[in-house]
Amino acid sequence: MDRESGDDKRAPGRPRSREADEAILAAAVDLLVEHGICGTSIEQVAQRAGVTRRTVYRRFPNLTALLVRAIEWEYRDVEAESLNLPDVEAMLTDWAAYLSQPRARLLVRRLYGTVDDLPDLLRTYHEVHGKQRSEAVRATLDKAHAAGQLHGDTDTRVLQEMLSGAALQHLASYPDNTGAEEIEAYFLAILRQVGYRPSTEKGTAKA
C-alpha cells in the first residue's frame, strides 16, 4: 500500500507530512537531473517519492509549480558564510569545489536547458542561488580591483559576465569528472589574461 494513501482521507487542515513533502521535492530534483524536463512528470515524481499522484497534486497544482518549489528546496542551505569571499583565490576555490560535483554540473545544465520552455525554473535558480552569489562575486572583484590586482581600467561588471560565460563553457565542454584543482586553474588562467595577479605575487596590475 502506498505509504501516503492514508493522508488522502485525513481531515481538512491537518498538517501535511514533512517527510512526504521532502520526498516529493527530492524526487522532482532527482528526476530533473537524471532525465531533464521532458522526462519528468507528476506521475514519475509520485512513483519515485512513494506517494500517490493525488498527494502530489494536493501540494502542487502542476509540474511547473512543483519544479519551481523543488529548486528552491534544493538550494535552501546556502550559508551566508559561504558568500563572504575574502579574496579572488577563495572565490575560485569555492567555484571549483562546486563545479567538480557531477550532479551539480548536470543540474545546472538541465536548468539552463529549460530557458525557452520553462523560464520560471531558471529564474528561480537565479533568485535563490545565483543572485546572492553574483553580488558576492562582484564585491570580491571590486576588492581585487581596489587592491591593484586588476588593471585600473578593468570593468568588474564585464569581467564578472566573462567569468559567468566561462563557467557555462566549462559545464558544456569539460568532463563532469574534472577535478577541483584543474577547474580552479582554468578560471585563474582566464583571469590572468585580463591582467589579474594573485595576492601572493609581487607587484600590482595597476599600471
Q: Which domain-ending residue is among 58, 74, 90?
A: 74
Q: Are residues 60 and 109 in the same domain?
A: no
Q: Are residues 87 and 31 in the same domain?
A: no
User: Span 30-58, mean pLDDT?
Assistant: 96
User: Span 178-200, mean pLDDT?
Assistant: 94
Asked if the model's pLDDT at residue 13 lies above 60, the reply is no
Q: Which domain-ending residue is among 26, 54, 74?
A: 74
User: Span 77-83, mean pLDDT?
Assistant: 64
We report the CATH number of the domain holding residue 158 as 1.10.357.10
Q: Are residues 33 and 116 in the same domain?
A: no
State how many domains the chain has. 2
Report pLDDT for 89.
95
Report pLDDT for 63.
95
At a CB cut-off of 8 Å and minimum separation 6, what does 157 contact? 138
Which residue bears the cell 487542515?
13
Is residue 204, in this structure, part of any structural domain at all?
Answer: no
Q: Which domain holds residue 57?
A: 5-74
Q: Rounded to two decimals, what is the model's pTM?
A: 0.81
Lowest mean pLDDT among 74-78, 124-128, 191-195: 74-78
Q: Are residues 58 and 133 in the same domain?
A: no
Higher pLDDT: 47 or 129? It is: 47
Asked if the model's pLDDT at residue 15 lies above 50, the reply is no
We report the CATH number of the domain holding residue 29 as 1.10.10.60
Is residue 198, in this structure, part of any structural domain at all?
Answer: no
Half-sphere exposure (CA, 13 Å, Cβ side) for 34? 11
User: Span 62-75, mean pLDDT?
Assistant: 94
